[in-house]
Amino acid sequence: MAQEVRHFIRLMKRENPSWGAPRIHGELLLLGFDISEPTVSRYLQRLKRNPEESKAAQWLAFLNNHREAIAAFDFFTVPNLYFRTLYCFFVIEHGRRRILQFNVTFHPTTDWIVQQLREAFPLPVLIDTCCLTMTLSSEMTCSTS
């Protein structure tokens, strides 16, 4: 196998950790290399890989590929100067690292949380079909109704 082909196989596997031999073989054919899929498979098996690095690389590839569609939210408490508890709701968009929603209340209710989600994600179909409930342990669960 030519050095150039081995270089491309390593490069494709490093940049796309979820790709297997069939996908890399197809890409090599598109690039004009005449190589069989079993040869690519045997070479991939011989590559030394660290399982921990592979998992991290797969996670980073996933985040890079989907960061425009990922948002995170947190619901946390903060004591104020008078020792009253404030409940904070925070939503951030990962793609641009932009704060989508931040609000604070002394008495969070299910309706308040749903309203915060509606303001953060203007998707009426998603929020209207999702029923949010809060358990005593302050965990939020979502079940469709």
Q: Show the domain range for 98.
A: 70-144
How many structural domains are present in the chain? 2
Q: Are residues 116 and 139 in the same domain?
A: yes
Q: Are residues 46 and 93 in the same domain?
A: no
Q: Are residues 74 and 132 in the same domain?
A: yes
40-60 pLDDT tens trace: 988 888 876 556 666 777 888
CA-CA distance, 54 to 74, in Å (whole number)?
A: 29
Q: Are residues 87 and 129 in the same domain?
A: yes
CA-CA distance, 143 to 145, in Å (whole number)?
A: 6
User: Which of 66, 97, 121 corresponds to the end of one domain?
Assistant: 66
User: Which of 66, 89, 108 corresponds to the end of one domain?
Assistant: 66
Q: Are residues 92 and 137 in the same domain?
A: yes
Average pLDDT, the chain: 80
Categorize the per-residue pLDDT at 17 as very low, low, confident or very high, splitting at 50, 70 and 90. Answer: confident
User: Which of 66, 83, 116 corresponds to the end of one domain?
Assistant: 66
What pLDDT was estimated at residue 87? Answer: 93
Q: Which residue has the higher pLDDT, 11 or 134?
A: 11
78-136 pLDDT tens trace: 998 999 999 999 988 888 888 888 899 999 999 988 888 888 887 654 444 444 444 44
CA-CA distance, 99 to 94, in Å (whole number)?
A: 9
What pLDDT was estimated at residue 60? Answer: 84
CA-CA distance, 87 to 117, in Å (whole number)?
A: 15
